[in-house]
């Protein structure tokens, strides 16, 4: 896997040759601004339906193994 | 209570505060589930909240409005902004990334004024989303280390947050506490949040470093789990001292995150994961830029209420008290400054008006039941020496208990009459004649003798003499 | 096999029952599915129920939708409430979403009959469907060959007559390339034209849902139903669906069609020959062919294979075994994450996550991801210049016809080259579609790709309809 990844990264160096200092990055294919919604409540998902799909659940919550160390 | 005098050898404290505030919206930042504290676990959930495959975020317009209120109240510039993903793994982070703002936040370059006209810079106030809540079970300390498992509730996941980052302009723990208190008043005044530290709707992370003036700032440590204004002060005091002691004994301060333990009064290192620091920030492709129209910003600014600092200043000017003093603080905090203004408007003595309200109206709320003109009358009675201060205090209690009333009549009912100056003079002369020994001692400079003379006059007048006025007469007689 | 529009006409008029239609399709599935493996799940019981309901409505004179009775297959990366959605990955095997994707709701409201969830390259990463955790799909026209990918199952389902139409998703060519290899029509709309809500994300700024059909009219009909603004998707274009069926007979007289003079190398000669034939056909129909240059094309593969994995590495981080999907238990959380993802993800997915994480990491961001975003701007500008001069552009869809199984699996780069003609339009956010146009020297179908500018679907469909008439 590592060999393949290194090979791919080598191939990708073709863009190194380009002078892109004057080029603006393109992050949005379609220019949109200010998409928002009104602060109106919608019905929650059904808790049971969701927890039925959980790998482990208890007391209405998702259950996971402990973290080693404190939470940050 | 503490200040830099506590740090030895010329060390100076540098503090910056990061305050996270939950916004008072009906729904979450990026989805329409309810934003409500205290509901049954996992009952305010949707695909976005749970980070389900295929879910997409949509911005909450009211959250933006509230965030703008906060920014404008902190004198920030509101600017076009974007959202970024902050990527890390933790079970309370359902998408394994938090949507936040990175290099283009909504509000920048503001400030907040502390008492004494100390200006603390606000670098930014940006929007982001809150995480879920994990509860840990099995470990004896109740903290994670050594516990058997954790349970996750995602009701809080996605609640809108504003993160307010101060510049490192704070120099004492007292200033830090004032900053947090003032910020809280502002948040309440603009109705952006209920800002309850004890419920977690306002959370402080404190960055502390020490240095000698004229040198670069030292390495800073971030302190988490500071859950009250008092803890802010205590944590800073402890941490500053810890760092000074460490450096002076030859050690170096390591840049790290520490946990404040309120019970023991100490900060402790948090064992963080190895590469927790690289969050691989990149622009959130599921959202588009937010460019608030100038007309919207102007509307929000125009609708801002008069902020606490301005209200204290106005009250102080009206009543002749210190704008940074306790009476101004307390009365504005309670929302009773408009009432005081009303009392003054009815002719009440300004200084006495604010002090009476400060001292006696703690239970009254922002709309006191005592009619303003009744309180005004009481202040005038005391000012004009128609009642003594002691009598005025009693009448004040009566007024509050009765919810108002005719103070003159109430004074008469109590049998309070003050004696006029002529009557007082003759009483003083009589006392001097009756107690020549005490009078001689007093004239010779023994201040204690004054008490005997005043006491005699009070007794003979059955309490109707104004102690202050009597003292004044005795003093002026002695001076002659 | 009936066209979509014919089915709708027959069912809504009552001349044929939806049940009869669905039974025909289920019979074909029964006959060849074990050989083709187009589906992860065939939902025959529910399909029959849905068909019966349509027939009831027709009988009682109730209005039925624009897709009444049409058997449709859905790529298994679109959320269907209560119906297993796996993305052909072990990590989601058995997962039933608690909600429907917007497109699914639109299909149901239009009276479509969903017959099943189709196979794909795991998490839509691949060009042959060989990366599926549940085994590959075979090309119905030659079962020793791949159907293309990542939407191989959806393409095969239409090609084999298992469904009258299907939906796929396209991030770098995953609709168009399998359409070309299976001899069907496949469309990737303008980015934002079709809602992504409920589409399991691969690369958020590139993904789009689109139709597979047996002809251009069916594609236009289906695309009209699934397009349009969705308030649940912030990147959704704030406009209603473009009218497409109405322009199909307009022809191409007077249109200017671009021919790319600096096309990347590696295209098979028989494919290039079909491209020339396509240009000839359009000339005969009254269009002018104009040379255009797209100098940044040669960098598109690199830009795509930095941007897509970067976004994917973030989108796939949520598969941690905490809330849904398959978990591998461990003593502590970090061990659980590692074990769950190690066993749940296939090799290609892991490869792209690693690549993407690297491209975003501190110190490398500007060199890789940052630069790739600038290349994206370059190709967008190249297209903008070209479209000042032309109404549409033609290229081959795929450099070759359907290749044999296992012929590209040893070298990921060779597989990535399959998408060299399709990737540029994903980067630019433009629409493009593949139309079958003859066969190659091996008698396997060749697809011609029609490209247009943002929201240029009408021009694109006019050209596609003409090509179809001439093919």
- Helix, strand, coil fractions of chain C, as percent rounded to 5: 45, 15, 40
Q: With an 8 Å Cβ cutoff, are C197 and B56 in contact?
A: yes
Measured CA to CA, the distance from residue B291 to residue B288 in angstroms comes to 10
Give percent of chain A above pLDDT 90. 60
B247-250 long-range contacts (CB < 8 A, ≥24 apart) are B247/B210, B247/B218, B248/B9
User: Which range among B7-11, B125-129, C264-268 has the greatest average pLDDT?
Assistant: B125-129
Number of alpha carbons in the 13 Å side-chain half-sphere of residue B73: 26
pLDDT tens profile C317-340: 999 999 999 999 998 899 999 999
Q: By CA distance, what is B49's nearest residue in C?
A: C323
Per-residue b or e along B348-370, where b marks 16 or more CB atoms closer than 10 Å to that residue's CB = bbbbbbbbbbbebbeebeeebeb
Helix, strand, or coil (residue B170): strand
Chains meeting A at 3+ CB pairs closer than 8 A? B, C
**What letter would DSSP give residue C356?**
H
Predicted pLDDT of residue B419: 60
Q: Is the pLDDT of residue A70 over 50?
A: no
Q: Are C346 and C122 in contact (CB under 8 A)?
A: yes
pLDDT tens profile C182-198: 999 999 999 999 999 99
Pairing of strands B107-114, B12-22: unpaired
Q: Is the pLDDT of residue B313 over 50?
A: yes
Number of alpha carbons in the 13 Å side-chain half-sphere of residue C432: 34
Q: 């703002």: which residue's tokens?
A: B101
Q: Is the pLDDT of residue B3 over 70?
A: no
Q: Say if C413 falls within a structural domain.
A: no
Mean pLDDT within B184-200: 95
Is C75 one of the catalytic residues?
A: yes
Predicted pLDDT of residue C435: 98
Q: Is the dihedral of CA C429, C435, C440, C445 positive or negative?
A: positive
Q: Say if C426 falls within a structural domain.
A: no
Rg, chain A, Cα only: 24
Q: Are B166 and B123 in contact (CB under 8 A)?
A: yes
Reported as type and span, the H/E element at residue B298 is helix B294-302
Measured CA to CA, the distance from residue C416 to residue C8 in angstroms comes to 39
Measured CA to CA, the distance from residue B228 to residue B245 in angstroms comes to 26
- When the pLDDT of each residue in chain B is averaged and rounded to a whole number, the result is 91
Q: Say if C417 falls within a structural domain.
A: no
Q: What is the CATH number of the domain that holds C107?
A: 3.90.1300.10
Measured CA to CA, the distance from residue B231 to residue B241 in angstroms comes to 15
Helix, strand, or coil (residue A45): coil
Q: Say if C195 falls within a structural domain.
A: yes
pLDDT tens profile C196-216: 999 999 999 999 999 999 999
pLDDT tens profile C420-443: 999 999 999 999 999 999 999 999
Measured CA to CA, the distance from residue B304 to residue C58 in angstroms comes to 59
Measured CA to CA, the distance from residue B60 to residue A36 in angstroms comes to 6
Give percent of chain C above pLDDT 70. 100
- Measure CB to CB from residue A26 to each of C336, C358, C373 and give the nearest one: C373
- Helices assigned H by DSSP within C316-346: 333-344
Number of alpha carbons in the 13 Å side-chain half-sphere of residue B382: 23
Reported as type and span, the H/E element at residue A23 is none
Q: Are B110 and B75 in contact (CB under 8 A)?
A: yes
Q: Where residue C112 falls among pLDDT bands split at 50, 70, 90? A: very high
Pairing of strands C256-260, C392-396: parallel
Mean pLDDT within A18-41: 94
Distance from the Cα of residue B329 to its chain's centroid = 9
Measured CA to CA, the distance from residue C122 to residue C132 in angstroms comes to 5
Is C174 one of the catalytic residues?
A: yes
Least confident span in A59-68, B343-352, C458-467: A59-68
Predicted pLDDT of residue B2: 45
Measured CA to CA, the distance from residue C300 to residue B179 in angstroms comes to 52
Mean pLDDT within B186-192: 97
CB atoms within 10 A of CB A46: 12
Q: Which is nearest to A67 in space by CA: B51, C314, C317, C337?
A: C337
End-to-end Cα separation, chain A, in angstroms: 33
Mean pLDDT within C450-462: 98
Give percent of chain C above pLDDT 90. 94
- Measure CB to CB from residue B27 to each of A40, A69, A71 and give the nearest one: A40
Q: Is the pLDDT of residue B56 over 90?
A: yes
Q: Say if C291 falls within a structural domain.
A: no
Predicted pLDDT of residue C267: 95
Listed in sequence order, the residues at least 6 apart from B187 whose beta carbon sits closer than 8 Å to its beta carbon are B21, B70, B193, B195, B202
Q: Is the pLDDT of residue B458 over 90?
A: no
Q: Is the pLDDT of residue B413 over 90?
A: no
Listed in sequence order, the residues at least 6 apart from C69 whose beta carbon sits closer than 8 Å to its beta carbon are C7, C8, C10, C11, C12, C16, C17, C18, C21, C22, C51, C54, C55, C111, C113
Q: Which is nearest to B130 in space by CA: B182, B232, B60?
A: B60
Domains of chain B: 4-301 (no CATH), 308-414 (no CATH), 421-479 (1.10.10)
- The values of phi and psi at residue C248, to 5°, are -60, -25
Is C150 one of the catalytic residues?
A: yes
Q: Where residue A42 falls among pLDDT bands split at 50, 70, 90? A: very high
Predicted pLDDT of residue C302: 92
Partners of A53 on chain B (C-beta within 8 Å) are none
- C93 contacts chain A (CB < 8 A): no
Q: Say if C19 falls within a structural domain.
A: yes
Quick one: B404 exposed, middle or buried, by C-beta within 10 A (0-12, 13-18, 19+)? middle
Q: Is the pLDDT of residue A68 over 90?
A: no
Q: With an 8 Å Cβ cutoff, are A60 and B40 in contact?
A: yes
Q: 């990535």: which residue's tokens?
A: C416
pLDDT tens profile C53-102: 999 999 999 999 999 999 999 999 999 999 999 999 999 999 999 999 99
Q: Which is nearest to B66 in space by CA: B105, B30, B99, B22?
A: B22
Q: Say if C99 falls within a structural domain.
A: yes
Q: How far is A13 from chain B (nearest CA, A)?
A: 21
- The values of phi and psi at residue B130, to 5°, are -85, 165
Look up the domain containing C222 and give its range. 4-247
Q: Say if C348 falls within a structural domain.
A: no
Partners of C92 on chain B (C-beta within 8 Å) are 53
Q: With an 8 Å Cβ cutoff, are A12 and C302 in contact?
A: yes
Q: Where residue B472 falls among pLDDT bands split at 50, 70, 90? A: confident
CA dihedral C101→C104→C110→C111, nearest 10 degrees, is -140
Q: 């398959």: which residue's tokens?
A: C326
Q: Two tokens at C388?
A: 């000042």
Q: Is the pLDDT of residue B271 over 70?
A: no
Q: Which is nearest to C371 in space by CA: A4, B284, A24, A11?
A: A24
Q: Is the pLDDT of residue B273 over 70?
A: no
Count the domains in chain C: 1
pLDDT tens profile B85-120: 999 999 999 999 999 999 999 999 999 999 899 999
Q: Two tokens at C297?
A: 């094309």
CA dihedral C254→C260→C261→C264, nearest 10 degrees, is -170
Reported as type and span, the H/E element at residue B247 is helix B229-248
Helix, strand, or coil (residue B136): strand
Listed in sequence order, the residues at least 6 apart from B349 whose beta carbon sits closer than 8 Å to its beta carbon are B376, B379, B380, B382, B383
Q: Which is nearest to C436 in space by CA: C419, C449, C452?
A: C449
Q: With an 8 Å Cβ cutoff, are B259 and A38 in contact?
A: no
- C376 contacts chain A (CB < 8 A): yes
Scan residues 291-320 of C and list those with Cβ closer than 8 Å to A: 298-299, 302-303, 305-306
- Measure CB to CB from residue C200 to each of B54, B94, B278 and give the nearest one: B54
Predicted pLDDT of residue B449: 85
- When the pLDDT of each residue in chain C is averaged and rounded to a whole number, the result is 96
Predicted pLDDT of residue B275: 41
Per-residue b or e along C103-115, where b marks 16 or more CB atoms closer than 10 Å to that residue's CB = bbbbbbebbbbbb
Mean pLDDT within B212-235: 94
Q: Which is nearest to C404 in space by CA: C139, C104, C81?
A: C139
Q: Which is nearest to B473 in space by CA: B436, B414, B423?
A: B423
Q: Are B333 and B357 in contact (CB under 8 A)?
A: no
Partners of A29 on chain B (C-beta within 8 Å) are none
- A7 contacts chain B (CB < 8 A): no
Q: Is the pLDDT of residue B4 over 70?
A: no
Predicted pLDDT of residue B460: 78
Measured CA to CA, the distance from residue B168 to residue C109 in angstroms comes to 58
Listed in sequence order, the residues at least 6 apart from B282 whose beta carbon sits closer than 8 Å to its beta carbon are B84, B85, C310, C311, C314, C360, C365, C369
Q: Is the dihedral of CA C275, C280, C281, C283 positive or negative?
A: positive
Q: Where are the beta strands (DSSP E) in B177-308?
A: 202-211, 221-226, 257-261, 266-269, 282-283
Predicted pLDDT of residue C137: 98
Predicted pLDDT of residue A71: 46
pTM value? Answer: 0.91
Q: Are B431 and B352 in contact (CB under 8 A)?
A: no
- Measure CB to CB from residue B54 to each of C197, C323, C360 and give the nearest one: C197
Predicted pLDDT of residue B6: 67
Predicted pLDDT of residue B418: 61
């Amino acid at each position: 896997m590592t060999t393949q990844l290194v090979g791919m990264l080598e191939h990708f160096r073709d863009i190194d040759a380009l002078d892109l200092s004057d080029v603006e990055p393109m992050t949005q294919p379609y220019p949109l601004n200010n998409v928002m919604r009104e602060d109106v409540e919608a019905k929650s998902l059904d808790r049971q339906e969701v927890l039925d799909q959980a790998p482990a659940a208890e007391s209405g919550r998702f259950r996971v193994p402990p973290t080693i160390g404190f939470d940050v | 209570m503490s200040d830099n005098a506590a740090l030895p050898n010329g060390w100076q404290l540098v503090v910056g505060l990061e305050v996270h505030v939950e916004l008072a919206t009906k729904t979450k930042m990026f989805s329409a589930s309810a934003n409500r504290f205290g509901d049954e676990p996992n009952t305010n959930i949707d695909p976005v909240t749970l980070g389900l495959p295929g879910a997409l975020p949509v911005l909450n317009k009211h959250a933006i409005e509230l965030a703008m209120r906060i920014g404008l109240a902190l004198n920030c510039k509101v600017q076009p902004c974007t959202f970024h993903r902050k990527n890390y793994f933790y079970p309370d982070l359902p998408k394994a990334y938090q949507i936040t703002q990175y290099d283009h936040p909504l509000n920048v370059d503001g400030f907040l004024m502390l008492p004494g006209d100390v200006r603390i810079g606000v670098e930014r106030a940006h929007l982001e989303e809150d995480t879920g809540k994990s509860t840990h079970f099995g470990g004896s300390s109740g903290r994670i280390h050594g516990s058997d498992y954790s349970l996750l509730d995602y009701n809080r996941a996605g609640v809108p947050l504003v993160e307010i980052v101060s510049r490192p302009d704070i120099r004492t723990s007292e200033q830090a506490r004032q900053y947090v208190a003032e910020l809280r008043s502002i948040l309440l005044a603009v109705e952006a949040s209920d800002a309850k530290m004890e419920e977690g709707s306002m959370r402080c992370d404190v960055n502390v470093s020490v240095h000698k003036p004229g040198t670069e700032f030292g390495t800073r440590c971030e302190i988490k789990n500071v859950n009250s204004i008092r803890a802010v002060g205590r944590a800073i005091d402890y941490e500053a001292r810890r760092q000074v002691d460490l450096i002076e004994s030859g050690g170096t301060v390591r840049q790290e995150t520490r946990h404040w333990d309120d019970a023991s009064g100490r900060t402790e290192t948090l064992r963080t994961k190895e590469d927790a620091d690289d969050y691989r920030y990149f622009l959130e492709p599921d959202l588009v830029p937010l460019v608030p129209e100038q007309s919207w910003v102007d509307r929000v600014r125009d609708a801002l209420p008069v902020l606490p600092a301005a209200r204290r200043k106005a009250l102080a000017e009206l009543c002749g008290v210190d704008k940074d003093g306790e009476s101004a603080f307390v009365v504005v905090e309670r929302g009773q400054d408009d009432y005081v203004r009303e009392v003054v408007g009815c002719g009440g003595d300004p200084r006495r008006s604010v002090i009476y309200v400060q001292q006696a109206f703690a239970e009254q709320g922002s709309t006191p039941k005592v009619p303003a003109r009744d309180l005004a009358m009481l202040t005038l009675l005391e000012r004009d020496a128609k009642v003594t201060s002691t009598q005025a205090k009693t009448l004040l209690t009566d007024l509050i208990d009765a919810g108002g009333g005719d103070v003159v009549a109430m004074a008469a009912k109590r049998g309070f009459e003050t004696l006029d100056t002529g009557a007082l003079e003759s009483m003083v002369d009589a006392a001097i004649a009756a107690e020549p020994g005490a009078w001689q001692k007093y004239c010779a400079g023994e201040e204690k003798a004054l008490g005997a003379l005043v006491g005699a006059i009070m007794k003979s007048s059955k309490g109707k003499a104004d102690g202050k006025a009597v003292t004044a007469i005795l003093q002026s007689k002695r001076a002659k | 096999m009936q066209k979509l529009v014919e089915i709708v006409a027959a069912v809504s008029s009552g001349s044929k029952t939806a049940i009869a239609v669905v039974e025909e399709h289920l019979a074909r599935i029964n006959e060849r599915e074990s050989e083709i493996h187009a589906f992860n799940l065939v939902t025959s019981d529910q399909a029959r129920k849905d068909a019966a309901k349509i027939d009831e409505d027709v009988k009682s004179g109730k209005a039925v939708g624009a897709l009444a009775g049409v058997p449709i297959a859905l790529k298994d990366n679109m959320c269907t409430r209560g119906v297993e959605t796996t993305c052909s990955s072990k990590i989601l095997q058995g997962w039933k979403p608690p909600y429907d994707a917007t497109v699914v709701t639109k299909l149901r409201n239009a009276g479509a009959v969903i017959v099943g969830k189709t196979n794909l390259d795991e998490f839509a990463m691949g060009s042959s469907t060989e990366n599926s955790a549940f085994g590959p799909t075979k090309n119905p026209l030659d079962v020793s060959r791949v159907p293309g990918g990542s939407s191989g199952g959806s393409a095969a389902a239409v090609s084999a007559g298992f469904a009258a139409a299907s939906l796929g998703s396209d991030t770098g060519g995953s609709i168009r390339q399998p359409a070309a290899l299976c001899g069907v029509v496949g469309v990737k709309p303008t980015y934002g034209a079709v809602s992504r809500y409920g589409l399991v994300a691969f690369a958020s700024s590139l993904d789009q849902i689109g139709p597979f059909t047996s002809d251009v009219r069916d594609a236009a009909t289906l695309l009209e139903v699934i397009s349009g603004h969705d308030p649940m998707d912030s990147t959704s274009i704030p406009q209603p669906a473009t009218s497409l069926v109405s322009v199909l007979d307009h022809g191409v007289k007077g249109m200017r069609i671009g021919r790319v003079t600096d096309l990347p190398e590696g295209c098979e000669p028989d494919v290039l020959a079909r491209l020339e034939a396509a240009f000839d056909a359009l000339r005969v129909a009254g269009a002018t062919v104009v040379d255009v240059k797209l100098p940044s094309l040669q960098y598109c593969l690199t830009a795509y294979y930095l941007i897509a994995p970067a976004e994917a590495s973030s989108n796939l981080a949520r598969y941690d075994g905490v809330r849904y999907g398959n978990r591998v238990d461990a003593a502590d959380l970090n061990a659980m994450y590692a074990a769950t993802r190690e066993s749940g993800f296939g090799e290609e997915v892991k490869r792209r996550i690693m690549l993407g994480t690297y491209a975003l990491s501190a110190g490398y961001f500007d060199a890789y991801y940052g630069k790739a975003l600038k290349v994206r701007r370059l190709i967008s500008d190249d297209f903008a210049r070209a479209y000042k001069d032309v109404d549409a552009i033609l290229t081959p869809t795929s450099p070759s016809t359907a290749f044999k199984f296992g012929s590209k699996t040893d070298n990921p780069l060779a597989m990535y080259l399959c998408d060299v003609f399709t990737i540029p339009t994903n980067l630019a956010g433009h629409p493009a579609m593949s139309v079958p146009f003859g066969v190659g020297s091996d008698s396997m179908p060749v697809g011609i790709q029609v490209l247009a500018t943002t929201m240029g679907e009408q021009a694109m469909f006019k050209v596609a309809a003409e090509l179809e008439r001439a093919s």
